[in-house]
Amino acid sequence: MNLDRFHLSHWKDLSFEERLKALQDLEHHYAKVQGRKPRDVEPEKMPGPDYMGYYDPSQDIIKINEDHIKQDDFHYCCVETVIHEGRHAYQEDAIVGIVSHPDTGEVQKWKENAIAYQQDDPYFMYRLQPLERDANDYANGQTYNLFEELEQKHGKNKGFKKYVKKYHIKDKEKAVQRAQESLGEQYIQRIDKYIHKEYVKRLENEQVHYKINGIEFNPDRSVKESVKGRTSIPGAHRNAQVLLNEAKEERQQAQSLVLMKNMERDGGKER
C-alpha cells in the first residue's frame, strides 16, 4: 500500500475523508499481513484528546477519535491506534480460532485475559495484562518502523521523537515502575498468575464473558449478523463450541481440585 500519505508533509494536505480512507487502507494492509478479515474504521466524537480510540468486538469496528483525525498534530496517534486496535481484532480471531497464532501458550493467556479483563485501576494492571501488553508492543514496533521508513524517504517526521518518548517509552516505564513497586521484579509472571486465578474463579462461578477493551464479544462468530458487508466465517460455530467446551472442562477440573483440597484438609473424607 502507499504509506507516503502518513508522512506529515502529505498528511496535512489531506481532507478529513482522505485521512479516514488512508486509515481504512492501513487497517486493510495489516489485516492482510495478519491473515484476518479487515474491520471498518470509523470516527467517533470522544470526551477529550486523551481518548485515542478503541476496538468494539461486538460490532467489528475500530473507532478513532474524530478530533485526532482532523488535527495534524495527532496523526501519529491515529496511525498507532489503528494498528493497536487491529491487533486486538487479531487477538479476538485467535481466541475464537479463526486465525492460527504460532504461540498457543500466548493464545491461552489471551483467552484467560478476555474472561478476566482488567480495567485501568491500577493502570499498570491494565497496561501490562496479556492482551494490552501484546497490542502495545506490536503497535509500538510497527509504528516506529513505519515512520522510520517514511523519514528515510521524505525527511524528518516533525514531532515523532517527542511522540515516541511520551507514548512508547515514558508510558511503559511508568507502568513497569509501578508494577515493580507493587509486585517486584517478577511482575509479569505475577500479573499473569493473578489473571489466571481470576479466570478460574469466574469459570467456577460460571461467569464466562469474553471481553476486549471492556466490551463483550460473542465467541460464536457464526451467529453474528453481517456488519457492513462482513459475512460470517464458516467453521466459527464449531470453533466457538470447542472453546466453550474447553471452558466447561476447565471449570470442572477447578471444582475437582477444590474438592480434593477439601478432602485432604478433612482427612480424606468427602463432605
Digit-coded pLDDT (tens) for 131-179:
999 999 999 999 999 999 999 999 999 999 999 999 999 999 999 999 9
Total residue count of the chain as it appears in this document? 271
Rg (CA), the chain: 21
Phi, psi of 82 (to 5 degrees): -60, -45
| CA 38/CA 235 separation, integer angstroms | 18
Quick one: average pLDDT of 15-40?
98
Question: pLDDT category, 213, cuts 50, 70, 90?
Answer: low
Let me know if 148 is exposed, middle or buried by CB neighbors in 10 A (0-12, 13-18, 19+).
exposed
Q: Is 14 left (phi over 0), alpha (psi -120 to 50) or beta?
A: beta
Q: How far apart are CA 213 and CA 1, in angstroms?
A: 28
CB atoms within 10 A of CB 195: 22
Residue 24 cell numbers, joined: 481504512
Would you say residue 68 has pLDDT above 90? Answer: yes
Average pLDDT of every residue of the chain: 83
User: Beta strand 40-44 with 61-65: parallel, antiparallel or unpaired?
Assistant: parallel
Q: Say what the pTM is.
A: 0.80
pLDDT of residue 215: 66
Segment 224-248 mean pLDDT: 39
Asked whether the beta carbons of 157 and 150 are under 8 A apart, the reply is: yes
What single-letter DSSP state applies at residue 45? -
